[in-house]
Amino acid sequence: MTQPEPTQTRHTVDDDLAWTREQLLAAQQEATDAVTRAEKAERAVDHLADRYRGAEAARDTWAAEAATQNLRAERAEAERDRYRFCWNSARDRAQALGEGVLRHVANRDPWKRQALEQQQRAERAEAALDAVRAVLADWEGSDISYSNFASAIRAAIDAHTTGPTTT
């Protein structure tokens, strides 16, 4: 409502108060609307900030997951390389064991030393078996006593066995 024109003849204080009251109510409504719009804008800004923080967190999470995946892939590749190296090394060692090259490097690895000891025990057992065969060939066809024959075999075995014997 607009203020009454001064040319009107009936202008009273009540009319001025009514007009002022209307103006105050309109101003109060505008202020309330402005506060409501400001609160909506603040909520929108908060929402956008939360979305931005969420996007940043998601990006950071994605980057961390990508780094983890890359690390896992690198570890898997390193593990495959290690297995490949171990397999090739074991194959080469087996070939070396078969070719007798192991004697030169027996002190480097415990399993090589054990393999060499087993190979030497097998060679000593073969030599002892050859000695027993020789004793049997010498005593073949003759009358023998069991104790003399057993002591001859034991002596032949002891002559070819340098390591500890088990009975």
Same domain assignment for residues 54 and 28:
yes
Closest CA relative to residue 165, chosen from 156, 114, 139, 102: 156
Pairwise CA distance, residues 130 & 158, whole Å: 12
The owner of tokens 């402005």 is 34
The rounded percent of the chain whose pLDDT value lies above 90 is 2
Q: What pLDDT is stored for residue 166 in this prediction?
A: 47
Question: What's the distance, CA 135 to chain centroid?
Answer: 63
Pairwise CA distance, residues 137 & 131, whole Å: 10
Show the tokens assigned to 91.
């194959």
Whether pLDDT at 160 is above 80: no
Q: What pLDDT is stored for residue 67 in this prediction?
A: 84
Tell me, what DSSP letter sits at residue 2? P
Closest CA relative to residue 132, chosen from 151, 150, 149, 157: 157
Same domain assignment for residues 27 and 95:
yes
Same domain assignment for residues 150 and 115:
yes
Domain count, the chain: 2
Q: How confident is the model at residue 3 (pLDDT cuts 50, 70, 90)?
A: low
Instruction: Say how many CA atoms lie within 13 Å of 158 toward its Cβ.
Output: 7
Same domain assignment for residues 85 and 148:
no
Pairwise CA distance, residues 135 & 155, whole Å: 10
Q: How confident is the model at residue 137 (pLDDT cuts 50, 70, 90)?
A: confident
What's the mean pLDDT in 109-136? 79
What's the mean pLDDT in 127-140? 79
What's the mean pLDDT in 112-116? 75
Query: Residue 95 sits in which domain range?
Result: 14-99
Residue-wise pLDDT for 66-85, tens only, equals 888 888 888 888 888 888 88
Pairwise CA distance, residues 112 & 92, whole Å: 12
Show the tokens assigned to 86.
């171990």
Pairwise CA distance, residues 107 & 160, whole Å: 24
Same domain assignment for residues 133 and 166:
yes
Same domain assignment for residues 95 and 114:
no
